[in-house]
Each structure stands twice: as structure tokens, then as C-alpha cells.
Chains A and B, each alone.
Chain A
């Protein structure tokens, strides 16, 4: 008797069950916030690398920050465009596989990752195009290579594919 009545109720109003499927990739969503959001927008719209400047110590911070880590003051909204050329300061060349911790994909391999000293003295961590270990060394001149398709950009620092090796003369042309 009770069973029949609950069945009748179910027909009247459907319970709000939550349905979860596990046979597809996780759908993650992260927020950039206002400051890093501006970095993302400049990369997507203008292919620019931007950092923000502390009103007190005048240092440029990358990634941009709402509060200067050193001075502990609000950064305000003072943006600086950073050069897209620089030199490899430190690097590593990974041959072991690394896995994306969120989606389980295997990352490209071999994989040269570098800390690049941009021409205004700000450090930027990115990957390098050069995969020949013997051609890598500290001090080589590099330049950012962007994703050209506007629709493919919008992923912050991943809008730059990698930094490619350039010679000094080419670097001078880029700076002009």
C-alpha cells in the first residue's frame, strides 16, 4: 500500500536526483581573477606579455599581483608591457614522461623548460622550441612564438607556444 502511494507521488513530482557519469573527462573550471585576467586579455587580444608595477618599489611583477610581495602595498593598476625577447637563464631538458595531473594526458617529451630573463630583467618560465640538448645552454637568445589563431588564444601563458632561439641581429630587429 505504502509502495503504491509513493509511486503515485513520484509521478506527480519528479525528485531532483543528481546524475553523474564517469566515462568522460573531468570538467574543471578555474578563475583567473582581475589581475591575472588582465594578463590573459592582453595575451589573447594583443599578443602582449604584461606585468604590473609596484607604486612603491617600482618593481615589475610577473605573474601580476594585487599586492606587492616585498612592500605589502596595493599594486593599483599600473601595467607594463614586457619585451618578448630575452636569454635563457636556467633550463632543464626532461626526457622522462610527465602527466597532466588534471586530465591524465602525457605531456610532450622530450621537454625543454627554461627560466627566461626577459630583456627588461623580469623572469618568465616557459618552454623552449629547441629539443636538441646539445644546442641548449644558458645565455642563448630566445623570442616568444605566439599562437597565431585568435580563437586558439585565451589560455594565458599557453598562448605562447614556446620561445625559439634567435641570433643577436634578429634580437636587435625585434627590439626596434
Chain B
């Protein structure tokens, strides 16, 4: 049996398109200091530091090397991970494994991205190898445009439903002091008037490029109970990768491209006795690069039946005041510092469990939450959080 692991410190930066006022290490240190302050710990208490960043997105190699001093990693064990969009989920899994194994009592995980430095889309197209797939790469936007088209064709969802999801995200983001895009959107019509980025994705249908960082401090059971009165327990973590960069089909009927969400949910739900996720879990923070993908993910995570994702927003079920709130933070469509994004999902879900989310705290009592990460060639990381084990 693994040791129990709790989140005892949460810190994030505010998010913006550009942060010319700080270097990348300085920006990351803001999140680290915030997490330490939240846990009321000194950096001396942290035994190991693990970080996550989309290497080359900032057009630099080994971005973690320049920041060992600023984030307190100097001379300590730890390393950086990069698994594509799931990077931040992978570092949470990594920190969990390390503390659960008993190797460390207190470890810190950090996700960060300073996208004003590089060219994210060029870096993403370089993921398609020059010997296979180059010339047919479309960047993240093209991929999610394909997903949206396929969702329109198969589910019966309309652009109005996508706009309702966007409106929900913006309303929540406007209540979150750390969110990037706070547009004050008033109506579905306003969203339907925004220009197409790549048909059928409008500019408002896709996530921004944000600069920001998020740090979490994990502690073993014994230490956690001494550090805080409100530990958030990591009940379980599931990671599913798949064969990367084949056709990249959304919903491959041949089954060659695994729906990693399905595999991940099957394992995680079974291990934790979850038969009806919408009832057994109180809220979700999901990685939705677009509003269309959010509806798709509702289905993959079994929050509803197949082809009915859009009905959840139509009925207001996933609104912050709804029966099953999704992305009270405003989500990825409002804030996307890629390497940090899945760490923020876990952080925001943990804040909801602690009851510390402030203006964007869901009105219902959140005892159990799920945080998800999506990325690379449709990989999945799931983190299940609980107030008590």
C-alpha cells in the first residue's frame, strides 16, 4: 500500500499574455513563494522539487536550469518532466509517486510556462516528426477544429451550446483573481459574433496563450496533519499514454487510437468505487482547450451518456451553481500557461475542497473532486482529490 499523500500548499501567479516585468525564473518563484506561504513552510522544509514545462515552447532548451536558485531547488533532488499537454498532470503524478513511495515526506511540484518568449504553435508542429507527418500538422488549433467538426456531426450540438460553455467559463473566470481572460461576456449572441479562427472554431472558442506558474506542496500523512488543518488528500492518480502521432483521430472507430479518457476513467472509477461519477464526485476541473472539447470530455469522463455532453450545459448542470460544477476557475479556455495548466486544475479542485476558492467557490459542499489533464496525442492524467480519506 502506498503512503497517503496530501496537498498542504497551493500557490499560483496571476496570468497574462505578456510578463515583460519578470524573467521566467522570477515568474516561477512567485508561485513557489505563494505555495510556501500557503503551507506556512520554509523552502528548507521542502526535500525535493519537481518541475514541468513544455520544453522548446519558450524556444529554449532546459528551461529549468536557469531557475534552481529562485525556486529553492538548488542542491536538492528533483527533475523536470515534459509529456506534452499533460506535462502538469505528469508532474503531479510524479510528486504523488515520490511521497507515496515514502522516499520524501515533503515535495514540491511546479508547472510553468512563459509563452511571450517563444512560438508555441511552431513548437507543437515540431512534435510531428520530420520523417512522419510533417506537412500534415495543423497545430493544436487545427486538431481541435477537427474535433469540433466531428462533434457537430455526431452529437447534435449547435454553436449555441458551445457559446453557452464559453459564457459559463467567462462568468467563472471573472470571479477568479488568477484567471487570464476576463471578458465580461454578456450573451451567447456576443460569442456567436466573434470571428472564426479555424472553422468552426471562433477566436472566443479557443484557449489563450498565457504566462504563469502554479506550485503545489505535497506531504506525507504524518507531516500533513501537523502542517495544516485542511489537508486535501490525493485519493488516486491514473495516467494513460498511447501510441503517439499515428493518424491522431478523434473517435477512431478502429480502436487503434485509444480513448485514453475511457481507459483512465475505467481504472480510476473502479478502484475508487465510483459508479456514477456525477453523483460520487462533487465537481471537476477539466483540461478543455476549447468549449467544443469540454462537451466531448463530459461524455468521455462519463458525466453523461454519449452524445449528450451539450445537454449538461443546456440544463445548467455544470454551472458553478449547478448540480455538478465544472471548471469553477474559468478553465483552460480562460487561462492556459500550458505546462502549469493541469497543475492549476489540481490546485483549483483542491481550493474547492478546502472551501478557499473565494468568489468562485461553488455553493455546494465539495468533498470529492476530479482534476484532469489532456495532451500530446490525446493522453490522459486523472487526479482524484478528497477532503477525508
Contacts and interface: CB of A to CB of B under 8 A. Distances in A.
Contact of A96 (B197, B243, B248, B252): B197
Contacts, number: 107
B198 A94 contact: yes
A64 B287 CA distance: 31
Contacts of A93: 145, 198-199
Contacts of B149: 90-92, 138
Contacts of B131: 30-32, 36, 40, 156
Given A101-B123, A126-B136, A158-B135, A121 B254 contact: yes
B129 interface: yes
B28 to A, nearest CB: 25
A127 B199 CA distance: 16
The 3 closest A-B pairs by CB, nearest first: A123-B247, A101-B126, A69-B243
Contacts of A32: 131
B136 A125 contact: yes
A10 interface: no
* Most chain A beta carbons < 10 A, residue from B121, B135, B143, B250: B135
Given A102-B126, A138-B149, A157-B132, A113 B246 contact: no
Contacts of B307: none
Interface in B292-348: none
A98 interface: yes
A63 B132 contact: yes
Interface of A: 28, 30-32, 36, 40, 59, 61-63, 65, 69-70, 89-96, 98-102, 107, 111, 113, 115, 121-127, 133, 138, 156-158
B141 interface: yes
A125 B247 contact: yes
Contact of A92 (B125, B129, B146): B146
Given A96-B141, A98-B138, A133 B199 contact: yes
Interface in B112-126: 119, 121-123, 125-126
B142 interface: yes
Given A69-B243, A98-B138, A89 B199 contact: no
A123 B256 contact: yes
A87 B306 CA distance: 25
Interface in B95-153: 119, 121-123, 125-126, 129-139, 141-143, 145-146, 149-150, 153
21 contacts: A28-B130, A70-B256, A89-B249, A90-B149, A91-B149, A93-B145, A94-B145, A98-B121, A98-B137, A113-B136, A115-B146, A115-B247, A115-B249, A125-B133, A125-B247, A126-B136, A127-B135, A156-B132, A157-B135, A157-B136, A158-B134
Contacts of A138: 149-150, 153
Contacts of B252: 123
B133 to A, nearest CB: 6
B370 to A, nearest CB: 27
A65 B246 CA distance: 10
B129 A113 contact: no
Given A98-B137, A98-B138, A90 B132 contact: no
A123 B247 CA distance: 6
Given A30-B129, A36-B132, A94-B198, 17 more contacts: A30-B130, A61-B246, A61-B256, A69-B243, A90-B250, A92-B143, A92-B199, A94-B138, A98-B121, A98-B139, A99-B122, A101-B122, A102-B130, A107-B135, A113-B136, A123-B252, A157-B132
Contacts of B119: 99
B136 A127 contact: yes
A94 B135 CA distance: 13
Contacts of B121: 98-99
* Most chain B beta carbons < 10 A, residue from A62, A89, A99, A121: A89
